[in-house]
Amino acid sequence: MKTKNQLALAPWVFTLGFFALWEILCHVLKISSFILPAPSTILWAVWEYRTQLAYHAMHTLWMTLAGFGLAVGFGLLLGMVLGSSRLINAGTYPLLVGFNSIPKVAVVPILVFWFGVGWVPPVMTAFLISFFPIVVNVATGIATVEPEMEDVLRALGASKRDIVFKVGVPRAMPYFFGSLKVAITLAYVGSVIGEQNASNVGIGNLLTRASAAFEVPLVWAALVVLAVLGVIMYAITAYAERSMTGWAQRSQMAA
């Protein structure tokens, strides 16, 4: 019971301790707020710029969720195709890996040529950066169906499609939800990059403008807002994972 309480408290203690240490160091070493503002200064900036931050944060949230939603839909579809056909999998793998290795910042200018400055580039960047882990995980889940299970169903006259939908897809769900946690953080990176380079609104754009004007506390405040949003979205996907695939998390390791 005691260890359980300690476990529940530990995240709070460590987080608060981290910021307290930061605050103390800033004051003791008299670090200029231009280099590293103290948490209290940042918090104050968050409050001061709250309407601006909230407006831009909502925009970023939208861009991220739109890109992430596209990535989930496309990733599931492509993952299912790759997982059920070894031929397509082998054929497209080099292309996919090659595409995934391109830093997505480098793609933003092309997106601007195509779609102009606005909401499309951030959404597209978020999508492009986050679909890959979903594809790979879903494909792995489907491709690793036990051969015995496949035999049982094929001997009954099951089609490839039956096997994919009855066994492959449900079996891939733990992999899928695991990849969502990676994808949501990546989508965030994508939308902020997109906004920095090709948008007039959003936290990314706010960051660009604030740093150009040397408004250091605002830059830090924007970062804090990003971190908080990121944690919340990660928590939501983690919760979805637990509630959808409880059957897969019965090991002692997961407890």
Interaction site with other proteins (CB under 8 A)? 146, 148-149, 151-158, 162, 166-167, 170-171, 173, 245, 247-248, 250
Closest CA to 61 of 221, 192, 206: 192
Identify residue 100 by its one-letter amino acid code: N
Nearer Cβ to other proteins (34/247):
247
Give me the least distance between CB of 159 and other proteins, in Å please: 9
Nearer Cβ to other proteins (41/245):
245
Residues 80-119: b if buried by 16+ CB within 10 A, e if exposed: bbbbbbeeebeebeeebeeeeeeebeebbeebbeeeeeeb
- From the CB of residue 55, how many other CB atoms can be counted at a distance below 10 Å? 14
Give me the least distance between CB of 237 and other proteins, in Å please: 19
Nearer Cβ to other proteins (15/159):
159
Give me the least distance between CB of 243 and other proteins, in Å please: 13
Nearer Cβ to other proteins (105/153):
153
Token output for 239: 């919760």
Contact indicator for 138, 165 with CB cutoff of 8 Å: no
Nearer Cβ to other proteins (123/167):
167
Q: How far is CA 126 from CA 64, 100, 111, 180, 199, in A?
A: 6, 13, 12, 13, 13
Give me the least distance between CB of 246 and other proteins, in Å please: 9
Give me the least distance between CB of 177 and other proteins, in Å please: 13
